[in-house]
Structure 1
Amino acid sequence: MSGALRNKTVVITGASSGIGLACAGAFARQGANLVLAARRYVDLCALAQSLEQTHGARAVAVRCDVANEADCEALVQQAVTVFGGIDVLVNNAGVSMRALFADLDLAILHRLMDVNFWGTVYCTKYAMPELLRSRGSVVAVSSIAGYRGLPGRTGYSASKFAIHGFMESLRVENLKTGLHVMVACPGFTASSIRATALDAMGEAHGETSMDEGRMMTAEEVAGRIVRGVIQRRRTLVMTRQGKLAVLMNKLLPAWVDKKVYQLFAREKNPLVK
């Protein structure tokens, strides 16, 4: 599949770290033009320069807070101005949380929905004319938490469930337009998302609550996303554990409740015991 996306324009949100950073490299290796979006503009500029030097990719960095609608509109306008259109939008920007609902400030839930759900909606809305014109792809990087609620992640799970509903509706609306709609659901992935997850008061935890060494790498996730775009896949559930969780949640949801509880009771400093 090398070069399958050559000269296609790919917009990636949350591109400064984790899965977004890995996606930037994976799409660059396919010869794509890149529009890299995140709040950390200095890091994005360094990434764009690195991709240009390493892969010969054309890359532009755009400072963007996806929770801000105007930023999302400006991101799309920048992509169109520089590259003349958009072929792939990867809605990857996201934030997590780790706190029991009884303990948290409701502002945390607002933040989760603003970034994870509304960020996806805003970027998709403004990119739609270009994506329809190119018969391109819109991708949402979601989670198994979009299929199954997880303890200590009420806001995160709610935002991912909302994304799934949005993307599913969008897919049906566009069955005959040529737009490709894909939801990508990695398993637990080694990245900074748990260290930056918000606690009950909205502060970053600063450390992971799980064993990162046993998780998927961001690079593995990015490779699967790129292949999914090329193959125009509908949904990617990336691990055996994830596929089993989705299946068993349909068949035996009460049993899955207990298994999920047991899993999260084994976290470092568990919230459920």
Structure 2
Amino acid sequence: MKDFKNKTVVITGASSGIGYACASEFASRGANVVLAARNYEPLSKFGAELEQQYHIKTKSIQCDVSKEEDCKNLIEQALLEFSTIDVLINNAGISMRALFKDLDLTVLKTLMDVNFWGTIYCSKYAMSALLASKGSLVGVSSIAGYRGLPGRTGYSASKFAMNGFMESLRVENLKTGLHVMLACPGFTASNIRNTALDTSGKQQGETSMDEGKMMTAEEVAKQIVDGVLKRKRSLIMTSQGKLAVFMNKFFPSWVDIQVFKLFAKEKNPLIK
């Protein structure tokens, strides 16, 4: 079903994980896709594969979303190529794994620059085009944006900030026709834990959890694309996530204990 035939979708963090899967899903439904990530070579190869498989058009753009000029260039190049933007998926993000007491504060700044400011920059420069198309602005957030997680102070803070920004933006645009959606996957099998920053800001290089029991990036992408099609307000994608958000409203102290127990079971746990 060509749900998005001839629509233009911009996706940040498109070279792997959820962004990669979203690009494939949108392309399979007829969308032209603008792919953004820091590593251009694999991105360009991926774009060519999508064009060949789905007979759509792509544009690959090297972009570090923590840099405002890169985000501005991304949107300008997308508009030069396709004249319009119908969907912006703010997906680029990084995580961390370290206790705050041990943490170099530059790690927190890095996470805010990518996860929060990257969303701000791209959204700002795409806003006029999205308003003109009455399109969709999507933030790929996390349950960590509703519930603080141990060892992820910077990640949770950046996602809380994203959630507040998107919520405010939704209210500002209740009557403009702009669709604003927060997508909050549960734990997803991807490389985000492998590339999570440690106490000094280096990638930890391995996952601390059992990836086999998690949602796949493809499952997440399908829910995001369906959510855009149905113009949903928010998506909380797992029963565990829905329970955590619901219970946190009414029994936050109980949730504190459950979250502690969960993260105490990690490989080489930070809390015991």
TM-score tier, shorter chain, comes to: over 0.9
Amino acid at match of 2:18: I
Rounded to whole Å, the distance in 2 between the matches of 1:72 and 1:7 is 23
Question: CA offsets per residue over residues 142-174 of structure 1, 9 Å max, x none?
Answer: 000000000000000000000000000000000
Say if 2:185 is the partner of 1:152: no
Measured after TM superposition, the shift of residue 57 of structure 1 is: 1.6
Aligned partner of 2:124 in structure 1 is: 125
Aligned partner of 1:44 in structure 2 is: 43
Measured after TM superposition, the shift of residue 4 of structure 1 is: 1.1
Amino acid at match of 2:180: V
Amino acid at match of 2:159: K
Aligned partner of 1:105 in structure 2 is: 104
Which SS does the other structure have where 1:181 is aligned? strand
Aligned partner of 2:199 in structure 1 is: 200
Measured after TM superposition, the shift of residue 217 of structure 1 is: 0.1
CA RMSD after TM alignment? 0.3
Rounded to whole Å, the distance in 2 between the matches of 1:99 and 1:166 is 26
Say if 2:154 is the partner of 1:116: no
Aligned partner of 1:191 in structure 2 is: 190
Amino acid at match of 1:89: L
Aligned partner of 1:255 in structure 2 is: 254
Rounded to whole Å, the distance in 2 between the matches of 1:170 and 1:30 is 27
Aligned partner of 1:65 in structure 2 is: 64
Say if 2:152 is the partner of 1:135: no
Which SS does the other structure have where 1:102 is aligned? helix
Amino acid at match of 2:78: A
The 5 Å alignment of 1:87-102 reads 87-102=86-101
Aligned length: 272
Rounded to whole Å, the distance in 2 between the matches of 1:98 and 1:42 is 29
Amino acid at match of 1:48: G
Amino acid at match of 1:245: A
Which SS does the other structure have where 1:150 is aligned? coil
Question: CA offsets per residue over residues 2-40 of structure 1, 9 Å max, x none?
Answer: 211110000000000000000000000110010000001
Q: Give 5+ residue unaligned stretches, structure 2.
A: none
Rounded to whole Å, the distance in 2 between the matches of 1:89 and 1:155 is 24
Aligned partner of 2:237 in structure 1 is: 238
Aligned partner of 2:221 in structure 1 is: 222
Measured after TM superposition, the shift of residue 215 of structure 1 is: 0.2
The percent of aligned pairs where both chains have the same amino acid is: 68
Rounded to whole Å, the distance in 2 between the matches of 1:42 and 1:209 is 29
TM-score in terms of structure 2 length: 1.00
Rounded to whole Å, the distance in 2 between the matches of 1:126 and 1:36 is 16
Aligned partner of 1:33 in structure 2 is: 32
Aligned partner of 1:169 in structure 2 is: 168
Question: CA offsets per residue over residues 30-64 of structure 1, 9 Å max, x none?
Answer: 10010000001001001000001111120110000
Say if 2:6 is the partner of 1:23: no
TM-score in terms of structure 1 length: 0.99
Amino acid at match of 2:135: G
Which SS does the other structure have where 1:31 is aligned? coil
Rounded to whole Å, the distance in 1 between the matches of 2:102 and 2:261 is 21
Which SS does the other structure have where 2:89 is aligned? strand
Say if 2:80 is the partner of 1:78: no
